[in-house]
A and B are shown apart, each in its own frame.
Chain A
Amino acid sequence: MDKWIKFLEINASRIFDLTIEHAILVGAAILVALLIGVPLGIYLTTNDYLAETVLQIASVMLTIPSIALFGVMIPVFSIVNLGIGFVPAFVALVLYAQLPIIRNTYTAIRNVDPEMRDAAIGLGMKPIQRLFRVEIPNAFPVIMAGIRTAVVINIGIGVIAAYIGAGGLGVLITQGITRGDNYLIITGSVAVAILAMIADGFLIWIQKRYTPKSIAN
């Protein structure tokens, strides 16, 4: 234990830097995933046929082993000379985040009480007014749940990004494995877990803060 504490003291700033790197990679991926996934999820509620197809593709994507998906990214991005590093890892994470975000957005908007929607139309709201004033606010907790799942998945999968040179906490773990250094492995894993908990905690706070209190339960 003492040895580990010593190890932490020596490596503190490196661990911190890698954590930030990890967080930036995941954060950027989630941000882009949101910009794609939420509007797409909303759009799909108006197109049943497309919804089925898109949700299926997104499901399949999530079943691809992460290492394989990262592996595929390398040759693809090599074409534009970005085979390793941030970009392929980022793209892979964006793809992984899609399913929970699209699916939850789609389901949440879909499940808005039809009577409520009916009342909104009957009162003379335009579709866009209905979306922003009624549907999104009432769907918000479920959409947030999807985002939280995506973030936690991405923080975990982000570890693999180290294999394609994108840095992050995966670096500690991969190095630990190659060197047989348990301190590195444990430190990396714990840091990933803590990062995930902090991120989730933060998102729960946002969710609570912006969920109309009357629909919170």
Chain B
Amino acid sequence: MKSVLMGNHSVSYGVMLSRVKVIAAYPITPQTQVVEELSELCATKKLDATFIKVESEHSALACVLGASLAGSRAFTATSAQGLALMHELIHWAGLGRFPIVLANVNRAMGPGWNIWSDQNDSLSQRDCGWIQLYCENNQEVLDNVIIGYKIAEKVLLPVMLVYDAFILSHTYEIVDIPEQSQVDQFLPPFKSEYKLDVENPACFGGLTSPEHYYELRYNMQQAMEQAVEVYKDAQREFKEIFGRDYPMIEEYRCDDAQYLYITSGSITSTARIVVDELREKGYKIGLLKIKTFRPMDKAELIRLLKGREKVFILDRNISVGVGGIFAQEIKAYLYGQKYMPEIYPFIIGLGGRDIPPSSIMEAFNYAVIENKKPEDILYIGLKK
């Protein structure tokens, strides 16, 4: 059924369709409507779930972890400082292998106190063992909640669903709300093998000696690597049922491209327009949209970049001291590979600064029209 939904409500509907059993969340701008809608869905019994009111994000995630360990499909949502407050338990969720979904609205970290879009909040959690799914539009937001549970429950890693503050969270778009029966077909009830069970008691998250800790982390890395295939399988199945497709790395007009933009999140839509314009002018240019950040489909990335001339990576984030985080990751994957393009790492739109097509065009102008050399960090739109 087609409907007009804001990004936040798209999440709520995804949660409802996934038949989540326990929700614990603390409201924060720009995530608040996710929680509001869910509490309403619970109150009106459209969703048969326990909604737990909590006093902080830390408690929210703690509740969700407890519920998950007890065998329930569980959900929480947050943003920026809220995510940061969860940090201790973000580790716990990852390292404890909890198959939960957390929706994070990308919002700039304060101070400078700021509520607008910026990827630093989610990316700063990248080492905690989470799968991160970046979304371009509201349809993708809704669908990815459902896909999120599918892969999380297969590989036993938590999934963070990531989408831009306001640009998606508060913007209404046409969204096709899937049929419950179809979702049920795609996403069977959560059956947890490792859970609290009075018949077979065990202690979870207890003291782990040097004797065993190392292997636990090794196994996690294996799970993250397997997640690539698990994601692809899930994707295929999703496409069969719903007709929509979200590849880990999506190509746009790449076939003969000499130049490529690499983007993530809602910037991608704007970049598509820029690519179209440049194609019209006769430039051989395309776009790669990075959908999953951890895991990265390394083989696919290398295949797609091989033989290109120049690549412009747009990072709406900055790891201070290094630069754009996507650029840093991608560069690392390419090290030692042959026939790799020149990488132009651009920082753009921090703290929600608007990114019109002209800003994205600047990257192309710099690298191609002006034919300048790449640097470690390049800045677009900096007031000089």
B is a partner of A: no
